[in-house]
Amino acid sequence: MNGADVAMALTGTADRAGERVLCRLVRARLPGELLDTWPMSPAARRHLDTCLTCQAQSVRYRGVLRALRSLRDDIEEAPFWLVDRVLASLDVPGRRSSRRAAVAVSAVAASVAVATAVATIRWLRSGSV
């Protein structure tokens, strides 16, 4: 996407392809707009006010934010074996412990992220939003 495409999309002189470009720009800015970290330009806001597709995306994103905020205070206990397994993998003699530690911590972090994502998706699909 070049500057001419963006300018054409933002000025309203865009054809159907330009409209899709503007939709992509607006959807990319939705998280920042809704979290008050990266506000939209007036042109992008006008597009959001008139585009039903982008409005639907905004509603879906707000639902995800609401669901994630509701999970903020939920605490999941780690399986009883997890800490022992991680500590055992760090204490293997003859191995470079710093690399193993980084791998173990990364694996635990990835597991927690995946478990959180799966729980969030299941909760969203259950229609609890």
SS3 of the chain: the string is: CCHHHHHHHHHCCCCHHHHHHHHHHHHHHHHHHHCCCCCCCHHHHHHHHHCHHHHHHHHHHHHHHHHHHHHCCCCCCCCCCHHHHHHHHHCCCCCCHHHHHHHHHHHHHHHHHHHHHHHHHHHHHCCCC
pLDDT at 94: 58
Average pLDDT in the 22-35 region?
A: 88
Q: Which residue has the tokens 């229609």?
A: 127
pLDDT at 38: 84
Residue 14 has pLDDT above 50, yes or no: no
Interval 29-85: pLDDT, tens = 888 888 888 888 898 889 999 999 999 999 998 998 888 888 887 777 778 888 888
> Does the predicted model carry a pTM greater than 0.75?
no
Boundaries of every domain in the chain: 1-72, 75-129
